Chains A and B, each alone.
With several copies, the nearest count.
Chain A
Amino acid sequence: MTTMTMARAINEGLRVAMDADSKVVLFGQDIGRLGGVFRVTDGLQKDFGEHRVMDAPLAESGIVGTAIGLAMRGYRPVIEIQFEAFVYPAFDQIVSQVAKMHRRSAGTVRLPMVMRMPYGGGIGAVEHHSESPEAYFVHTAGLRVLTPSDPQSAYLTIQQAIACEDPVIYLEPKRRYWDKGEVDLDTTLGNTGLLSPWRARIMRPGTDVSVIAYGPMVRTCLEAAEAADGVALEVIDLQSLSPLDLATVVESVERTGRAVIVHEASRTAGLGAEIAAQIAERCFYSLEAPVQRVTGYDVPYPASRLEEDFLPDLDRVLTAVDRVMED
């Protein structure tokens, strides 16, 4: 076990994947000498060369579109979008091409691309640097979506994303980049076993309420579980947002009878809606209270001095817990 930040864990994961397969190439803005604005690719251009770590022009559609061509040529491009909100210029290529290419080619073309991007708020950034676009991608058939919540999960999920034969949107919770945690660098893709990144992880078992979160909110929920007085929260980290590991969620809620879903993204038609709808449908007879969603509001992400008022926090999670316990 080694202690490291999440940013470092992703860097190590990239390194392992690049060592293992010379077709893995990194492509994105400022990822070379600068190492990316969050330094996630730090040192990789130096170690793997300019042909493996390529700085891209300032055009996201161009990055995703050319990465498709690279993938068709047999490469495994891992692209970096500098911040989540800058993925929108590439939305067309992602939705109309990346997500559909395998299908329309009747399985002959595979696009093993990873689209990495920092997401979420909480770092006091300016506009367009704190969004949570996951629902757009989860709603898009043909994509997979992964998001780590701690260094160990990051180290493994990034490798799994790269190994996957399907295109993966890889969302990095930027406020957790500097969180430290233990990473077992010897865990390899082959021996992850139950650590499969496509499965949800029960981060803390509990009997009273299932708290379902992912990415940046997992730590918040773990803190809430710690702080909760007389209520045993079971905290689930989804890890994979598409496909959702509903089996783990449903099994948990059937035990607890109560569910709270937590995410930063706006509420309406957010991912929480899907999870809540699924729980309500599948746990119809075991649910003891309406599922609660603790989310960002249906407003544009506010200026940073107000972001704490927008983001779910420990208090809001506990208030929702109180509410499900009341019923």
Chain B
Amino acid sequence: MTAETDPVQLLTPEGQRVAHPDYDIDLSPGEMRDLYRRMVMLRRLDVEATALQRQGELGIWASCLGQEAAQVGSAAALRPSDFAFPTYRDHGVALTRGVQPLQILELYRGLTNGGWDPLEKRCGLYTIVIGNQVLHGVGYAMGQSLDGTDDATITYFGDGATAQGDVNEGFVFASVFTAPVVFFCQNNQWAISQPRERQSAVPIHQRATGFGFPGAFVDGNDVLAVMAVTRAALERARSGNGATLIEAYTYRMGAHTTSDDPTRYRMGDEVERWRLRDPIERLKVYLAREGIADRTYFDTIDREADDMAVTLREGVRRLPVPEAVSIFDHVYAEEHSLLHAQRAEFEEYHAGFVDQGVR
């Protein structure tokens, strides 16, 4: 492993396209506009959801503000037949995998613990227990290679997660089984109130070689670089060479969740510094300067985002609350007699209230 300290960059914070000796990417104008569009829509989803939480429409929200390039760039590198395992913050991944914005809000509105069919979207449900999904991703990838496909899996986690046993066991299994998996770590500098240094004394991408696969370090706010590095890692996986750990260096611009108060543990000027590295602005400047997109295009996207926002605001209130008795559904694929009895008891109990006109 090289001890590089500079992350791979293909686009400077000022929107300048630069070359990198190991990585490059050649996207059509349409593909580049598409990345921009996805990031804008994602940010709007994030802003709206934060607002909806404040209005009491959501129980909680985990903002991905500032991490749009890391999420969209990496997920856009996937093929439809690949599989992604996201965390609770990876809305850009879910969206890119075709999950509908309202499906994402369902979880945060407290209507479900899921929201979509993971097998249909080839995108796991948000995993809240830190690190658990990393092992699922490795196992899924082991299955892909047993099946003899050249599909690959990407599994997401944060800087904090690198301290967990599960994540490190994931590294072990991936390397022992040469699983076609990409470990995508969004180092957003914070795990709630804890800086990265409290989870790893050294930069995270350096963890990889000791487990037997390469680490890559990428500017997580540069969507082109993220996509290029992820593509390369996926290629490596597809061709039977096993795992890669990507550290996407980025920043959590918002609070940990809407329940959090970051003023207790971090300085405002840190946030300000990162604002200058905004992933969307960066691409926008580049697109504009290169004539890949113009004001009209940007306006169209903004309008599309406005429309989505309206749909979201209206839709979220109309999301049906599941029937109470549905708490007994899908506990087992083959419901057994004891649970069946509890369900019946529950129905009888509630029918009693209905008779009394209470419910």
Using a CB–CB distance below 8 Å, which chain A residues touch chain B? 25, 29-30, 32-35, 37, 51, 55-59, 61-62, 64-75, 85-86, 88-89, 92-93, 96-97, 100, 102-110, 112, 124-129, 141-142, 144, 164-166, 198, 243-244, 246-247, 267-268, 297-300, 302-307, 309-310, 315-316, 319
Query: B276 contacts which chain A residues (CB < 8 A)?
Result: none
Please name the residue on chain B nearest to A82 by beta carbon.
Answer: B192
In the bound complex, do residue B140 and residue A70 qualify as a contact, i.e. CB atoms below 8 Å apart? yes
A118 to chain B, nearest CB (A): 13
User: Is B29 among interface residues, defined by CB-CB distance under 8 A?
Assistant: no
Tell me, in angstroms, the Cα distance from A125 to B259 when the chains sit together.
11
Q: A57-B169, A70-B143 are in contact. List 12 more A-B contacts (CB 8 A).
A: A57-B176, A61-B169, A62-B173, A69-B136, A73-B142, A85-B129, A93-B166, A102-B333, A107-B329, A108-B114, A165-B333, A303-B107
User: Is B41 among interface residues, defined by CB-CB distance under 8 A?
Assistant: no
In the bound complex, do residue A57 and residue B199 qualify as a contact, i.e. CB atoms below 8 Å apart? yes
In the bound complex, do residue B169 and residue A59 qualify as a contact, i.e. CB atoms below 8 Å apart? yes
User: Is B111 among interface residues, defined by CB-CB distance under 8 A?
Assistant: yes
Residues 302-338 of B, flagged 1 when their CB comes within 8 A of A and 0 if not, give 0000000000000000000110111111111110111
Q: Is the interface of A mostly helix, strand, loop or mixed?
A: loop
In the bound complex, do residue A58 and residue B160 qualify as a contact, i.e. CB atoms below 8 Å apart? yes
Interface locus among B115-123, B232-240, B280-288, B289-297: B115-123
- Cross-chain pairs A/B with CB under 8 angstroms, 10 sampled: A25-B146, A37-B259, A69-B136, A70-B146, A72-B143, A104-B114, A107-B330, A300-B113, A303-B113, A306-B324
In the bound complex, do residue B136 and residue A126 qualify as a contact, i.e. CB atoms below 8 Å apart? no
In the bound complex, do residue B339 and residue A34 qualify as a contact, i.e. CB atoms below 8 Å apart? no
Residues 152-166 of B, flagged 1 when their CB comes within 8 A of A and 0 if not, give 010000001101111
User: Is B109 among interface residues, defined by CB-CB distance under 8 A?
Assistant: yes
In the bound complex, do residue B138 and residue A61 qualify as a contact, i.e. CB atoms below 8 Å apart? no
Enumerate B3-56 residues with CB–CB distance to A below 8 Å: none
Q: Which of B60, B147, B259 contacts A73 (CB 8 A)?
A: B147
Query: A244 contacts which chain B residues (CB < 8 A)?
Result: 338
Query: A310 contacts which chain B residues (CB < 8 A)?
Result: 327
Q: Which of B140, B166, B192, B336 contacts A34 (CB 8 A)?
A: B192
Query: A86 contacts which chain B residues (CB < 8 A)?
Result: 129-130
Q: Known A65-B136, A105-B118, A246-B338; judge A57-B198 contact (CB<8 A).
A: yes
Query: A109 contacts which chain B residues (CB < 8 A)?
Result: 118-119
Query: B198 contacts which chain A residues (CB < 8 A)?
Result: 55-57
User: Is B228 among interface residues, defined by CB-CB distance under 8 A?
Assistant: no
Nearest 7 A/B pairs, CB to CB: A69-B139, A65-B135, A73-B143, A66-B139, A304-B110, A62-B169, A165-B333
In the bound complex, do residue A61 and residue B143 qualify as a contact, i.e. CB atoms below 8 Å apart? no
Sorting the interface of chain B by its residue count into under 10, 10 to 19, 20 to 34 or 35 or more gives 35 or more
B304 to chain A, nearest CB (A): 29
In the bound complex, do residue B114 and residue A105 qualify as a contact, i.e. CB atoms below 8 Å apart? yes
In the bound complex, do residue A144 and residue B119 qualify as a contact, i.e. CB atoms below 8 Å apart? no
Q: Which of B127, B144, B333 contacts A107 (CB 8 A)?
A: B333
Using a CB–CB distance below 8 Å, which chain B residues touch chain A? 59-60, 88, 107-114, 117-120, 124-125, 127-130, 132, 134-144, 146-147, 153, 160-161, 163-166, 169-170, 172-173, 176, 191-194, 198-199, 259-260, 264-265, 321-322, 324-334, 336-339, 342, 346, 349, 353
Please name the residue on chain B nearest to A267 by beta carbon.
Answer: B342
Q: Which of B60, B142, B170, B194 contacts A125 (CB 8 A)?
A: B60
Please name the residue on chain A nearest to B191 by beta carbon.
Answer: A58
In the bound complex, do residue A61 and residue B165 qualify as a contact, i.e. CB atoms below 8 Å apart? yes
Q: Which of B140, B194, B346 contacts A297 (CB 8 A)?
A: B346
In the bound complex, do residue A34 and residue B328 qualify as a contact, i.e. CB atoms below 8 Å apart? no
Tell me, in angstroms, the Cα distance from A170 to B102 when the chains sit together.
39
A170 to chain B, nearest CB (A): 16
In the bound complex, do residue A89 and residue B110 qualify as a contact, i.e. CB atoms below 8 Å apart? no
Please name the residue on chain B nearest to A164 by beta carbon.
Answer: B334
A194 to chain B, nearest CB (A): 15
Please name the residue on chain A nearest to B143 by beta carbon.
Answer: A73
Tell me, in angstroms, the Cα distance from A310 to B147 when the chains sit together.
41
Query: B338 contacts which chain A residues (CB < 8 A)?
Result: 243-244, 246, 268, 298
Query: B321 contacts which chain A residues (CB < 8 A)?
Result: 305-306
Q: Which of A29, A66, A124, A165 contacts B135 (CB 8 A)?
A: A66
Q: Which of B114, B147, B192, B336 contacts A106 (CB 8 A)?
A: B114
Tell me, in angstroms, the Cα distance from A194 to B165 when the chains sit together.
44
In the bound complex, do residue A61 and residue B117 qualify as a contact, i.e. CB atoms below 8 Å apart? no
Tell me, in angstroms, the Cα distance from A248 to B129 when the chains sit together.
39
In the bound complex, do residue B138 and residue A66 qualify as a contact, i.e. CB atoms below 8 Å apart? yes
Tell me, in angstroms, the Cα distance from A70 to B144 when the chains sit together.
9
B284 to chain A, nearest CB (A): 33
In the bound complex, do residue B113 and residue A127 qualify as a contact, i.e. CB atoms below 8 Å apart? yes
Q: Which of A33, A64, A165 contacts B264 (CB 8 A)?
A: A33
